[in-house]
Amino acid sequence: MRNIFFTGVISFGLVGCVAPTYNYQATPKQVSKPPINSVNTAYVGDKMLEQGVLMDRAVLSIPTNTKVNFAYTMSAGYYQKVGQDQKGSYYSAVNNISNGGNVQRSAISDPFQAVMLGLDGKLCVITVFNAKNCTDQYSASHTSIGVASDNSFQQTLIYSGKVGNKINVGYREFSSNLARPAFNNDVEYDLNESKQIGYKGALLEVLDANNQSITYKVLRNFNKTEN
């Protein structure tokens, strides 16, 4: 019975064997937005200003849940690239990032180790035994996203609404995608005193504001880089 069981398991959707290649290196990316001198509108809870260092990482974007076979399903989301070779490109099967996608398996299937988009156009889940389970019925696209890493750092200003002629703005710092509570602050600005508001080097000119949104011009970002 044991031989019959394993024969059945390895027969479904199996199209060959391949060992994933792990040779991809993400690159650091300076993020500073919106651009200097641009006019923007933010709603309550939105980021007005954002600056920091992220890792610019290539990803495979899967827009809908994709069933490879009855053993494996790929949930919709981003799959981070880990390598490539003459057979195709390889991606992480588990992606603990914002909007990350993950492979799901049935109880009787082998554990997985990676996702592969082959040069033959097939999308595959690679098991820990290097077996490929593939489908050609999918939708996917290549793109790149900023991903927080161990040495990433971000600063943001967040619009918190208006009371009378005073606006409230929240300052947040994030390190490795985690908020740094000691470096968070909420500040109130009186527009009767000035239409320009500043914090930690950043400078904005408020053009219009109410309790739902704010329209503003970026005069300077946190590090005063003119971009």
Lookup: tokens for 134: 């593939």
pLDDT of residue 227: 40
Reported as a pLDDT band with limits 50, 70 and 90, residue 217 is: very high
- pLDDT tens-digit profile of 123-166? 999 999 999 999 999 999 999 998 766 556 788 999 999 999 99
Lookup: tokens for 110: 């082998």
Lookup: tokens for 77: 């989301």
Residue 112 lies in a domain: yes
Higher pLDDT, 148 or 103: 103
- Cβ–Cβ < 8 Å for 176, 202: no
Q: CA-to-CA distance for 55 and 31, rounded, in angstroms?
A: 10
Which residue, 96, 126, 147, sits at the end of a domain?
147
Q: CA-to-CA distance for 211 and 135, rounded, in angstroms?
A: 50
Q: What is the mean pLDDT of the chain?
A: 87
Domain that residue 113 falls in? 2-25+56-147
Residue 226 lies in a domain: no
pLDDT of residue 5: 29
Percent of the chain with pLDDT over 70: 86
Lookup: tokens for 124: 């595959």
- 50 and 62 in a single domain? The answer is no
Q: CA-to-CA distance for 193 and 165, rounded, in angstroms?
A: 10
Q: Is 220 left (phi over 0), alpha (psi -120 to 50) or beta?
A: beta
- 65 and 43 in a single domain? The answer is no
Q: Average pLDDT in the 75-93 region?
A: 97
Percent of the chain with pLDDT over 90: 70
- pLDDT tens-digit profile of 31-48? 788 999 999 999 999 999
- 88 and 157 in a single domain? The answer is no
- 79 and 178 in a single domain? The answer is no
Tell me the pTM: 0.64
pLDDT of residue 8: 31
Q: CA-to-CA distance for 117 and 29, rounded, in angstroms?
A: 25
Higher pLDDT, 118 or 179: 118
pLDDT of residue 32: 85
- 102 and 7 in a single domain? The answer is yes
- Cβ–Cβ < 8 Å for 94, 125: no
Pair type for strands 196-199 and 66-67: unpaired
